[in-house]
Structure 1
Amino acid sequence: MATLSQLENQIQKLQRRADALREKKSTEAIANIQALMAEYGLTTADLAKAGLGKKRGRPAGSTNASASRGKTAAKSKLPPKYRDPATGATWSGHARPPAWIKDASDRSVFLIDSPATGSVARGGAASASRAASAKGAIKGATKGAAKKTARKSVQRASA
């Protein structure tokens, strides 16, 4: 059985051989390309015109949907509900959550116009607690009448 140092030496030798072969192949490829360019009278400017000198990937001005993934969508149909205080990025609360809110245990911290950020949304803390108690009544109610009165109290609280 070979020792670790023997295996490492073999790896280094094989790596040097692979690098030498790669260098030889690339030298041959460059020579072939130069020969073809000379045969047809082509220059590097001709290659650039033909689009062969461009880098792979999306063009710089690309505006398709996949190009803007991971960024705040400017064309969102829904208004933003959450904002990242560090970067200002927003999220509507629909679809896949962005990385900055994905692992948050309490997303209410990121709510726009939330009590956590200092401003109160829709009617103050008193109406919010009334709405929460009415929602609890709806959740725990077993009869239709109780649900109906709870809904009315929610409507009054939000008005």
Structure 2
Amino acid sequence: MATYSELMAQAQNLMAQAEQARKAELASVIADIKAKMKQFGITPADLGGGAPVAGGKRAAKPASAPKYRGPNGELWAGGPGRKPQWVRDVLAAGKSLDSYRI
């Protein structure tokens, strides 16, 4: 019977071989996918994306259109969360944000 150390060495060797095989096949798989996408006129957007998703996390939401322009040209969408300093200053001065609406 093989020892634990021998089995671990075999497992590591097999994982290294599997990774080499994956890398060897990857280029041909990508080329095949690109050829089929071109043949059928498929774009990345058709596949439900366009921007890659890093680390399996969801892609960031697109930025909202600005609704307010500050006294020095700063833009703010007026969404939830912490207000920019210029907004807090305007509100602290007793002014209305309506005068800064775009």
TM-score (norm 1): 0.28
Larger Rg: 1
Relative contact order, higher structure (CA 8 A, sep 6+) = 2
TM-score (norm 2): 0.39
